[in-house]
Amino acid sequence: MELIDIYAPVKSELVKVEEKLQSIGKVDFPHLAELVSYSLTSTGKMIRPALTFLSGKFFKYEKNREVIIGMASAIEVMHIATLVHDDAIDHSDTRRGRTTVYKLWGEEQAVLLGDYLFAKAGQLTADTGNLRVVRKFSSTLETISHGEINQAYNSFNLNQSLDDYYARIARKTAALFSLSTESGSVLSEAPEKSVKTLMDYAYNLGIGFQIVDDILDFTGTEEQLGKPVGSDLRQGTLTLPSFMILEKYPEDNPVKKLCKNRGGQDEINRAVVIIKNSTIVKECYDTAQEYCDKAKAALRFLPEIESRTCLEAIADFVMKRNK
């Protein structure tokens, strides 16, 4: 199943999210309007808002539809805000094949725009009128920032374990996936047990999603990735494939050398070759598959409606996507 088919039951809601995002750009200050509209023009997969809607569909969805659209929009805006800041601090020129806000308007504007978008996401969340969701929104932003600070602090650091990696991607990625399903289900008045089930699904999906992202950073083409190959390693970020190089070739390997020299394109190229020509890709995919299987297994507690099929299909899509 392609994303367009998976999203079919929530297609009109996703259009509403895009409209809401564009309406945020209607500000009475042309420069800011341009910044906001540019950054919020959807080019991503919209997985997080889709998760929010599909989670809501199991419960009292119709009567809460407008509120859930607001929350799904808040989550997408928060996600984009974190990307705008990431690009600013990583000095990334392209993202999803598009020139970044950082590259077009500079670091200063990118940092301030990110703050503006966090504020907008906070407002959309507050507009739900649901304090549990409001609390979780802020604690999720805390979790993500914690993960990002950890990642930046540990760049080029060989003294870290695979556990550090998993803790980091749980914070950086799984937390927001989890907020997506938690908010969708809470706002549609789901029983607590079902909320937990959907959070469990999203958490595991998020870990699987991030592992695949980390594989693609080595195995994808620049065109597929929308950014240069090996970007993680260039930033000194050790991900699962890098950890496996370190484990399999403890004596002499490009990741070790790159960390010691704090950079080096030759080492990145060598790492790409090793990863592509070893069992590392398969082993990483197997690990990602375990998480996606766990995600799907969690869904067994939910009724077999169309939404469940879609959530299962998202877990399959995460595994086979190439961008």
- Near its own copies by CB under 8 A, which window of 30-38, 48-56, 57-65, 206-214? 30-38
Which of 2, 26, 29, 159 forms a contact with its own copies (CB under 8 A)? Answer: 29
Quick one: which of 248, 174, 253 has its CA closest to 206?
A: 174
Nearer to its own copies, 88 or 202 (CB): 88
Do 24 and 36 contact (CB within 8 A), yes or no?
Answer: yes
Element (H, E) at 34: helix 30-40
48 or 308: whose CB is closer to its own copies? 48
Query: To the nearest whole angstrom, how small is the minimum distance from the Cβ of residue 148 to its own copies?
Result: 5
For residue 69, the minimal CB distance to its own copies (Å) is: 18
Alpha-carbon distance of 174 to 71, in angstroms, equals 17
CA distance 255 to 243: 9
User: C-beta of 40: minimal distance to its own copies in Å?
Assistant: 14
By CB under 8 A, residue 3 contacts its own copies = no
For position 262 contacting its own copies by CB under 8 A, the verdict is no
Size of the site for its own copies (CB under 8 A): 43
In the numeric block, the tokens 């509120």 are attached to: 67
Question: In this structure, which long-range contacts are made by residues 35-39, counting pairs with CB atoms below 8 Å and at least 24 apart in sequence?
Answer: 35/101, 35/105, 35/109, 35/113, 36/113, 36/116, 36/117, 38/101, 38/104, 39/80, 39/84, 39/101, 39/113, 39/117
| Binders of its own copies in range 85-124 (CB under 8 A) | 85, 88-89, 107-109, 111-116, 118-120, 122-123
* Binding residues for its own copies (CB under 8 A): 27, 29, 31-32, 35, 82, 85, 88-89, 107-109, 111-116, 118-120, 122-123, 125-127, 129, 131, 134-135, 137-139, 141-142, 144-146, 148-150, 152-153
